[in-house]
Structure 1
Amino acid sequence: MRKENVSKLLVVLLVVPLFLVGCGQSKEKITIVGSSALQPLIEQAGNDYHLAHLDSNIVVQGGGSGTGLSQVQAGAVQVGTSDVFAETQKGIDEKKLQDYPVAIVGIVPIANKGVGVKNLSKKQLAAIFTGKITNWRQVGGKNLPIIVINRSRGSGTRTTFEDLILNGKDAVNSQEQDSNGTVKKIVNSTPGTISYISFPYANDENIQKISINHVQPVNKNIPTNKWSLWSYEHMYTKGKPNKATAKFINYVLSKKVQRDLVPKIGYLSIHEMKVSRDSENKVTKLGN
């Protein structure tokens, strides 16, 4: 046999097995888009799930709750994640979507360490975010102008914060950012700033977490609504999910994830709540 023919045969023998292996490992892609507040949990759950299911391909992206809901409703992604109920969002038909609440997340006001304030009343907090209080000295802090950093419109974290703190009042015009992580970096480095982020991102000692009415922003205060600034984390599908998507959602709702991973990253399991909240923010005490 000629040398060049032998070389071609060897190439074929090497390529064919690789092709067959590739065919045997075809992956069904699950794209999950939306809430940056839920992103750390879903990313880690996706990584852990992949280790046990090597044929899985889970892609997790942020973009905000509004983006997640609109994308899943359009059928562009398999899952849209959201901090808010679908029925509260304009242009979203909740009847077309299937809701899977998978965790509870706290939201905390944060300020730059140099402002000299660790606690605000709910009234003071609302006055800051509506522009009525403009200097930290007005609330017992340093003589520094207050710089408000808001989340972008479409953010579920912003919607929850404004619903529960501003009570329908308009927020002051301010710089807007589209993710929890970016907000934290800006507050960390910019004197006089204040904003709000979800608990899993509030693990930086260089930011000042603000108590409200002297209630500390910790997970143990959420189940009874003592700390009332919290929201459900939803995974939405358009109608009944396909088999691969359903398996992953069931994994996120499993005892293993709810008991171990959810609190490890900074969330609360849905099973720990002593109260429930509906889409109109009405809180109801749950039975024993």
Structure 2
Amino acid sequence: MKKRLVAMLGMVFMFAFIAAGCGNSSSSNSSSSNGDKKEKASVSGSITAVGSTAMQQLVEEAASQYMGENAGTTINVQGGGSGTGLSKVVEGAVDIGNSDLFAEEKGVDASKIVDHKVAVVGMGPVVNKEVGVKDIKKQQLIDIFTGKITNWKEVGGKDEKIVIINRAEGSGTRAVFEKLALDGATPVKAQEQDSSGTVQKIVSQTPGAISYLAFSYFNDTIQPLKVDGVDPTNANVETNDWKIWAYEHMYTNGEPKGLTKEFLDYMLSDSIQSSLVPDLGYIAMTGMKVDRDAKGNVTNK
């Protein structure tokens, strides 16, 4: 009897030991699993991106999507122009400086910051829909912005005074337009606006108005102009048949880390490049058939 009791107690202790071992194994796996999850989790925190209004819409939408997918992150996006974006990131005042221009084109020491090209944007002249002009020669465009042509009837439109709306100094859109559309000519003094959205609205509401915008701001309230018979389309930008375009740069002060790096990786992810970028009127980096360097040299890929 005593032997049977001892044997039974031995079995009870054995099962208890095995159960405890299994429990420890489960706990260990759970801990390992939680550790993996922590390693894969998105970083939290807050960053600020400032600069180009031509790319502001793209960065804002991407930031909104990213924050929706990654709780605990805040990405502040502000305009102010490419010049502001570049100066602020060089100062270390912001995490990302958005620019339509290479840093070198604004006289910024590019060795102090890191360039991240995230898209391409086409730009072109736009007019009030009532001026009666849809196609213009490049020299006529230059003559309009330099004040040599002052009435739309001189280029086949209605008898109406031309009203020029310029972008403010420091605007990347303005710098790109002056360099590539006006061959470096300096426009006459005229009304200046900081925001692409404001320019779009003013041109749509002002008789005789002309300005220039990124394709992403083209809509049916304004009339984009052909130049020398070439349509301002993304397809023509991709081949450089339409020559007024720029890279959308997101500059960082040194190599990006933490949330800044994650967001820049997200900007180049397939979900942004293949959907949001074209949906908003920009061109994915992989869509370009040519490259352009900071000096303006264009080469085929």
Using structure 2 for the length normalisation, give the TM-score.
Answer: 0.84
Counterpart CA distance in 1 for 2:63 and 2:221 is 29
In 1, are the aligned partners of 2:168 and 2:193 still within 8 Å (CA)?
A: yes
1:165 paired residue among 162, 181, 199? 181
2:258 paired residue among 214, 231, 243? 243
1:38 paired residue among 27, 52, 55? 55
Deviation at 1:281, TM superposition (A): 1.4
1:256 is aligned to 271
Taking the TM superposition and a 5 Å limit, the aligned residue runs for 1:40-119 are 40-90=57-107, 92-119=108-135
Q: CA RMSD of the aligned region, Å?
A: 1.3
- Unaligned runs of 5+ residues in structure 1 are 1-24
Counterpart CA distance in 2 for 1:267 and 1:26 is 28
Deviation at 1:244, TM superposition (A): 1.0
2:158 paired residue among 131, 137, 142? 142
1:183 is aligned to 199
1:208 is aligned to 223
Residues 1:173 and 1:59: Cα distance change in structure 2 (over 3 Å): same
Counterpart CA distance in 1 for 2:217 and 2:113 is 28
Aligned letter for 2:71? L
Q: Which secondary structure does the structure 2 equivalent of 1:246 belong to?
A: helix
Aligned letter for 1:246? K
Aligned letter for 1:230? W
Q: Which secondary structure does the structure 1 equivalent of 2:216 belong to?
A: helix
Counterpart CA distance in 2 for 1:199 and 1:168 is 21
Q: Which secondary structure does the structure 2 equivalent of 1:47 belong to?
A: helix
**1:126 aligned onto 2:126:** no
Structure 1 segments of 4+ aligned residues over 2 angstroms from their partners: none
Counterpart CA distance in 1 for 2:44 and 2:262 is 14
Count, aligned residues: 260
Pair member with larger Rg? 2
In 1, are the aligned partners of 2:43 and 2:259 still within 8 Å (CA)?
A: no
**1:217 aligned onto 2:217:** no
Counterpart CA distance in 1 for 2:280 and 2:71 is 23
Deviation at 1:28, TM superposition (A): 1.3
> Deviations for 1:80-135, whole angstroms, at most 9, x for unmatched residues?
00000001113x22111000000000102110111100000111111111111111
**1:199 aligned onto 2:210:** no
Deviation at 1:27, TM superposition (A): 4.5
Using structure 1 for the length normalisation, give the TM-score.
Answer: 0.88
Counterpart CA distance in 2 for 1:26 and 1:198 is 33
Counterpart CA distance in 2 for 1:241 and 1:144 is 52
